[in-house]
Structure 1
């Protein structure tokens, strides 16, 4: 395997060659912008815009089979000059590649480990045994530490934290065409030590550290992530294993076998929580898992500027909008959990005023007390759940992940249910559990607006669908498979539905549609959603300096998924990157400044994961190209958007 995925690099250089990185103002201003120190004649930064790229087509199949970037980042100054930076994609590695461990040896990137930190071996094909590694890198954070001390750094040390959601197939599955490994392996998290070149901002990998997760029972399906205001990596455990019906889950037994060597040892109540990674000066990392933020389908939470209020995505059918307010700043180990009730007027029309949000208190707890409950309680101790109508009025009918359940809470189990059976309990107390796959969340601090991605607007959101509950007030008349982004107005002085004050100035009080995808009949390429609009948004990150909402797609409707930039002031949407066909855009993190340099972190998952009608027109041509680029489709890239030869700066020029 080569040091870098060569087709991706060639594609980036192709764009650079066709449109060189040149300032749109004087060359002296460009050099000043990229230097470490600004001259005395420095100009004032005003704004950033993006010149979009076109969607790739089969006329350039190579671009469809890799990370294609043809966009420009334009930095505007007060004297009306503009510097244009031609963007490109730079991977740190593709998964499965041997990378430096910082000890003179190497380690397999994205590699899986059991509870004893021993490599988990794929033995599915005799004679081809190898360590399992992920094809699905996801949440990524980039950060700096004032006391960093790592060997072999020539510039300045910068750290990346990257988590790996799952792997799609083992070697036998790949040979048979089956995606047979999802959810069967404990998710790894790694700390990357990166050498930041102070002459151009380039980042180079010098050390890969696999974080020991044994103290938190291992990790389950880590998806999106965010950087906390106190400089830690806030991870996620998505699609919490359904403890009430855990024997129906073959994935969970395989997960337990791979992690513990025993298919019955893993406890489902240990998963579906919020892991937090602290990076240390030597490039290592340590972990703790917070059990008090609700056991939901966590994805890409956002901590507000008060260091206490947390807004949480819930990647689930019949999901909710959840909020946690910590007791202490910069400490998520105890606090109060809330769930939203949506008022009348919910709409997918961006011109509509939106619907009011009120908040139901689910409970207050510490992580330690909920972990103790998780250790000691069985699912039947908390509630009784069945999937067939028991014809018993003491049971409540609700929908869990699109499936009808009849639930009866055991006496005195309110706290346990609130924090360990959060989806079902939220239904029982009257929350609006009608969202479908609410994924990434982020915040626009200046305007006090939070954003949530709805990957799909379907199923539980659609009137008369089998999973729809009219009491949720979340109703559309027709599904929009392409989904959309919603904006939530934030304010203080709020009380929960019991009349108790919510101690936060960052409470969502109204939700409205911001950007909505557009379903179409299949076009000439096979797209099932308008390729010039967002489709199936997933990762969201907002840049305060750029006033830009970045949107990564997890699409079943675009042949290639895209990374978009939406300026909230100009309302202009620009496509800035295309990931390989069949892949998902992940790992998004917009970094306004580290040591003066600006970065957009970006990964992708499962290239060439073909989907019936969507890819029927491109699969035959693209499949061999993607296999050649990404290790027979076992690998995916972790990296960032860069500008050759110098990284942008959103500072004085």
Structure 2
């Protein structure tokens, strides 16, 4: 813009006209002031101008998107450990564990002044993960020995809440005399194992800044701890009571892996590697083989009795979680297999559960009544791969559901009890004392009776009228024989954000400042190999990603059914010519295990991979 400056010069100039250089005359006297004239009439008031019209509001800006892969490294865990127990509370507290760190770690972290050489339960304090910006800076890849042996976080401080063996003696009678993660036998109360494998965490609020943290301990036998805790105004946590949940009423529990909190506020804990659902045999052909010591931990649990395998491998619900003696029930209705975890939809009836094994199945259970998982119908997922595609990063699957059977805990328990008396003296080489493949096939074929022993049937059911026990006691084989896809490889954690799904399905305004129109369940796959890349069956992917793994999402329709599964983010190219951490790129996913979904749609992913220091990642779907 051109600008013109105007200068006004005011001055008084007196011109004196004199002849030659004569002196000036004397100044005359000042005359007297004349009379003041009459005041003039006031002018009329001017008319007010009209107000200008308000300008229109500007449109809201679009959120910025992360560039690159959309991955942010939130934290790394010490050498030898995997990231487990990711849980985001309603208050924005992010819990996660350090599972089986190296016992050679010697560095004391600067926050807790502790060495992380045992199983460790903790929380990132000082930050609300329900209110994060989208431009978080990565935590560094560890370089020094101190960084390799401690938790390094991009946000907040990792506060240790407990480690394997902690007794909390400062709490007196509220302490844990046996130690955190310690398990006992049922009949003799003898200490069996001190467990370095804390897995799932679930926090249930009991008031403002106080509540109960439930943690799974993955071992033979398994267990669940409960820490009562409170949080200060500065964000620091204090443990005020500690206990291990008593599972005697359900004859103990085994290999408690991941889990979830139901919409009605009860922990659902998963029994995983107690079952061995191999591709070509039934689960328990060698369970009571006296030369097979694979069940020693379970034998000690119920000594002097021999354990019945059909009492393990389920979802257990802690139905009264915050009483002095929490009540526990195992839901046989959801099926028996290597449960990683289950998640309940907002209808409070539909449950999805993942099988962490080679040749696994994605299962669905629909309860007869809301908030009651004791009776309902079990289904297995049948996948159809996108035609002409096999690249893991772009290949999706349409989903149909194969009905297996309906049942109740009461009815299934009567079938389970028929195997209670079997022990090693009943073992016959080459045969099974439990359900056989021939038994499951006869059920799948709709036969009226079980086959005889001569026809490959098992002793307990030989020649008897057919029932639905195969669907609930040998669920993987039953699903496979009914046509469900039994080809997942290490189908790990599954997760939803309850409020996002509820808003997408019902239209209820439960997510502030956001309209959610599509709902997804996220699925972590640790390995994309073996049955997923064998060029057979329903899943036939390329081997490029292989053991680096990836994360899928499954679309949820208006009836809370999954209709399609598609890739979200995959690990880097698997480099089989290299060894150790180099096989999968340290800047990409390396064998993701469990996932959780944040309120704003971002997902948090924990690794169980090749890296020297496994990573806790955050992924932003808006980056795509």
Quickly name the TM-score band, shorter chain normalised: 0.5 to 0.7
Instruction: In structure 2, list runs of 5 or more residues that go unmatched.
Output: 1-97, 99-104, 115-125, 276-282, 423-431, 446-454, 502-515
Partner of 2:527: 456
Gaps of 5+ in 1: 15-30, 35-43, 73-86, 122-131, 147-154, 167-184, 387-391, 397-405, 465-469, 493-504, 572-653
With over 3 angstroms needed to count, the CA separation of the structure-2 counterparts of 1:144 and 1:325, relative to structure 1, is same
What's the counterpart of residue 476 of structure 2? 423
Does residue 363 of the first structure (1) align with residue 405 of the second (2)?
yes
Matches within 5 A, 1:279-428: 279-281=320-322, 285-345=326-386, 349=391, 352=394, 354-377=396-419, 380=433, 382-384=435-437, 412-413=465-466, 415-428=468-481
User: Displacement, 1:394?
Assistant: 12
Tell which has more relative contact order, 1 or 2 (C-alpha 8 A, sep 6+): 1
**Is 1:488–1:512's contact at 8 Å kept on the other side of the alignment?**
yes
1:433-448 to 2 correspondences below 5 Å: 433-444=486-497, 445=501, 446=516, 447-448=518-519
2:137 alignment partner in structure 1: 51
C-alpha contact (below 8 Å) 1:11/1:63 kept by paired residues: no
Does 2:132 correspond to 1:91? no
> Aligned match of 1:193 in 228, 245, 248?
228
Q: What is the deviation of 1:52?
A: 1.3
Residue aligned with 1:471, SS: coil
Higher CA-based Rg: 2
Match of residue 254, structure 1, among 268, 292, 296 = 296
Deviation at 1:521, TM superposition (A): 5.7
CA distance in 2, matches of 1:524, 1:456: 16
Q: What CA deviation, in whole Å up to 9, does each residue of 1:495-518 have, x standing for no partner?
A: xxxxxxxxxx11111111111112
Over residues 218-254 of structure 1, what are the superposed CA-to-partner deviations in whole Å (9 max), with x where a residue is unaligned? Answer: 0111111111111111100002433233135834541
Residues in 2 aligned to 1:257 and 1:336: alpha-carbon distance in whole angstroms: 32
* Secondary structure of 1:292 counterpart: helix
| Whole-Å separation in 2 of the counterparts to 1:102 and 1:372 | 43
Quick check: 1:239 aligned with 2:305?
no
Identify which of 509, 520, 523 aligns with 2:563: 509
Distance 1:349 1:51, change over 3 A: farther
Give the alignment's Cα RMSD to 1 decimal: 3.4
Correspondence 1:156-195 to 2 at 5 A: 156-166=209-219, 185-195=220-230
Shifted more, 440-449 versus 428-437: the winner is 440-449
Aligned-residue offset at 1:541: 0.9
Partners of 2:531 and 2:539 within 8 A in 1: no
Aligned to 1:9: 109
1:401 aligns to what?
none
Distance 1:105 1:136, change over 3 A: closer
| Contact 2:394/2:566 (8 A) holds in 1 | yes
* Distance (Å, rounded) in 2 between the aligned partners of 1:54 and 1:523: 23
Structure 1 residues 454, 432: closer, same or farther in 2, change over 3 A?
same
**Structure 1 counterpart of 2:181:** 110
Name which of 584, 605, 608 aligns with 1:554: 608
Deviation at 1:570, TM superposition (A): 3.2
Give the CA deviation at 1:562.
Answer: 0.9
Secondary structure at 1:371 match in 2: helix
Residue 472 (structure 1) shift: 2.8
Q: Is the 8 A contact 1:158 1:194 kept in 2?
A: yes
